Amino acid sequence: MIHNMERSRTKYFLLTILTIAVGLFSRSSYIPDFILPYLGDTLYTVMFFFIFGFLFPKMSTLKVALTSILVCYAIELSQLCQAPWFNEIRSYRLGGLIFGFGFLWSDLVSYAVGGILGALFEIWMENKTNTLNLTKNH
């Protein structure tokens, strides 16, 4: 299903910031152990979904989801590169957060789940907004 809409850049900026905050919080001891290994990577893709939604407000939901998943796949595959200059970038906190350290097949699944969750959240948000607008107009 291709879902088209015009996104609010303000809303997507705020959703990006919120997702980053939730992602940082997800590293706390309050998250159950069975979710912890996957939550950060899932939220990473959701964050990219919101970033691409912000950058491309008219792009279809499907394209935003696929783009966010593919970017995360590319970053994950870059972890197979252990060149000294790349490891130097990773040695800084921000570099490590962006590029990660080691390739894991399970991360690819988490990225796909994150892209799907971003798309479902966007569709849910738009349906909720449309329902509220219909209710106000009747």
Is 88 domain-assigned?
A: yes
pTM for the model: 0.85
Question: Of the segments 23-37, 47-61, 76-90, which one has the largest average pLDDT value?
Answer: 47-61
Is 2 domain-assigned?
A: no
**Which position has the token pair 């899932």?**
42
Lowest-confidence range among 62-76, 81-95, 122-136? 122-136
Is 138 domain-assigned?
A: no
CB-based burial label for 47 (10 Å; 0-12, 13-18, 19+): buried
Assign 1 a pLDDT band (cuts: 50, 70, 90).
very low
pLDDT exceeds 90 at position 105 = yes
Q: What is the pLDDT of residue 26?
A: 81
Number of domains in the chain: 1
* Domain ranges, residue 83: 9-131
Question: Comparing C-alpha atoms, which of 47, 24, 17 is closest to residue 110?
Answer: 47
Is 136 domain-assigned?
A: no
Q: What is the pLDDT of residue 10?
A: 95
Taking a C-beta distance cutoff of 8 angstroms, is the pair 106, 39 a contact?
no
Residues 5-34: tens digit of each pLDDT: 789 999 999 999 999 999 888 877 777 777
Percent of the chain beyond pLDDT 90?
A: 58
CA distances from 137 to 128, 131, 134 (A): 14, 10, 5
Assign 2 a pLDDT band (cuts: 50, 70, 90).
low
> Between vectors from CA 27 to CA 92 and to CA 70, what angle results, nearest 5°?
70
pLDDT exceeds 90 at position 135 = no
Is 89 domain-assigned?
A: yes
Cα 118 from Cα 53, distance rounded (Å): 10
